[in-house]
């Protein structure tokens, strides 16, 4: 799969930079990997539930070529002060502190562990447009970018689902974050103007046309930095695992995603801890909200869809407790504006982004009003952009 790239200005600047960093541009190949938004279904992926993400046109671009030796040389336009990061192919098991090169090393380790041969070094220059720690999934974008680069350079023919799973394995086992498969799946399987309803238990999925008619999805970035490894993400993972374990003493279930709201409510005594009940209730209710939201979306009932976005945010705030002042200010201010059907945080929380469903003609007034309130409350500005739903990770067809 490859797409013809539209933004030739960006590519020509990156081509010049590649020549400057690595000497010339002979035999260079071009790649793109998107970020993602999750329309609804937050923190359900690692609880065996449904998610409803879409890949977006903001992402990570990479230029790469093979070397004849075993040296890997990396350069990021986002971290120019780091210069060229260099390591030997035989030294990929050792992590580079907190550097972005760990995502490259991790993907090499996982591909080799799965039996694929990577026997030469390579050069890779990247530029990411996704704001770091924004909750639009810059790390999964990079993992899948490296995946498609290695797949192409070494002619590996890795099935797309396996590449997605190896991206998640990199995140879990190499980087050390207990994330589910939502991010990598959305970025690997994304299609233009389509969202993905994914059952994280079975990995069965359905491509759903995004028909917003007179509405836009506006991404609102808190501009509050967050690092997932330093956040309470792993703590929430552990809390829902513990709640599940307690429910399994009586219920024959493999995940919280198997429960209806009614079944959950009838069995909370098995959990016996108020905090754990709240965490598990979010996972169960959010999963069932996601299934209803997809039906509303397909039926063209955007008003219902917006109501579910609002309910999702309230649950993430009150039961899962992953929002905070910045995300609450954005989502709660957004839903009061004219022409807004609903708003919620998206991503892991603790900073990052929120999304709102806004009437197209109201977008400018919306951004101004929400931006003013946010800066007054938080003390620094938010950023706004309208999400365009784009392709998944791919090689670019550069003319």
How far apart, in Å, are the Cα atoms of 386 and each of 65, 216, 356, 357, 364? Answer: 34, 7, 10, 10, 11
Query: What value does the mean pLDDT of the chain take?
Result: 93
Overall average pLDDT of the 214-219 stretch: 95
In terms of DSSP bridges, do strands 122-128 and 71-76 run parallel, antiparallel, or are they unpaired? Answer: parallel
Please name each of the domains of the chain with its CATH number: 2-207+390-397 (3.30.230.10), 210-386 (3.30.70.890)
Q: Is 76 annotated as a binding residue?
A: yes
Q: What is the predicted pLDDT for the residue at 228?
A: 53
* Contact by Cβ (8 Å): 355, 217: yes
pLDDT-derived band at 356 (thresholds 50, 70, 90) equals very high
319 as an active site residue: the answer is: no
Q: Is 8 annotated as a binding residue?
A: no
Q: What is the pLDDT of residues 300-323, one digit of tens each?
A: 999 999 999 999 999 999 999 999
42 among annotated binding-site residues: yes
Q: Using CB atoms within 10 A of its CB, is residue 229 exposed (0-12), middle (13-18) or buried (19+)?
A: exposed
pLDDT of 132 above 90: no
Of 183, 199, 273, 361, which is the active-site residue?
Answer: 183
137 contact partners, CB below 8 Å, separation of at least 6: 35, 36, 130, 183, 186, 187, 347
Is 242 assigned a ligand-binding role in the annotation?
no
- Does 134 carry a binding-site annotation? yes
Residue 390 near residue 63, CB atoms below 8 Å: no
């Amino acid at each position: 799969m490859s797409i013809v790239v539209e933004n030739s200005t960006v590519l020509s600047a990156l081509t010049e930079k590649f020549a400057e960093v690595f000497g010339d541009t002979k035999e260079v190949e071009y790649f793109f990997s998107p970020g993602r938004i999750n329309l609804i279904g937050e923190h359900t992926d690692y609880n065996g539930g449904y998610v409803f993400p879409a890949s977006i046109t903001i992402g990570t671009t990479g230029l790469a070529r093979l070397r004849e030796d075993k040296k890997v040389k990396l350069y990021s336009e986002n971290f120019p002060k780091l210069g060229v990061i260099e390591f030997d192919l035989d030294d990929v098991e050792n992590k580079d502190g907190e550097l972005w090169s760990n995502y490259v090393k991790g993907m090499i380790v996982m591909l080799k562990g799965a039996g694929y041969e990577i026997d030469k070094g390579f050069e890779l220059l990247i530029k990411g447009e996704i704001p770091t720690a924004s909750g639009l999934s810059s790390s999964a974008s990079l993992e899948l970018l490296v995946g498609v680069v290695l797949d192409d350079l070494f002619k590996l023919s890795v099935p797309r689902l396996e590449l997605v799973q190896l991206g998640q394995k990199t995140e879990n086992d190499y980087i050390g974050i207990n994330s589910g498969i939502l991010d990598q799946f959305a970025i690997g399987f994304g299609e233009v103007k389509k969202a993905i309803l994914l059952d994280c238990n079975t990995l069965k999925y359905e491509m759903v046309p995004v028909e917003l008619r007179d509405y836009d999805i506006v991404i609102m970035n808190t501009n509050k930095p967050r690092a997932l490894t330093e956040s309470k993400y792993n703590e929430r993972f552990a809390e829902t695992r513990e709640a599940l374990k307690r429910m399994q003493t009586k219920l024959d279930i493999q995940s919280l995603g198997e429960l209806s709201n009614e079944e959950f409510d009838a069995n909370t005594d098995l959990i016996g801890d108020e905090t754990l009940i709240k965490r598990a209730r979010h996972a169960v209710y959010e999963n069932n909200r996601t299934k209803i939201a997809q039906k509303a979306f397909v039926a063209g009932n955007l008003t219902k869809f917006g109501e579910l976005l609002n309910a999702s945010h309230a649950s993430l705030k009150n039961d899962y407790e992953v929002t905070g002042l910045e995300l609450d200010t954005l989502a709660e201010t957004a839903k009061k504006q004219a022409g807004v059907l609903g708003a919620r945080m998206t991503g892991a929380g603790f900073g990052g982004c929120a999304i709102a469903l806004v009437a197209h003609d109201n977008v400018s007034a919306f951004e101004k009003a929400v931006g003013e309130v946010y800066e007054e409350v938080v003390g620094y500005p938010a950023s706004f952009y309208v999400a365009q739903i784009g392709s998944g990770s791919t090689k670019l067809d550069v003319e």
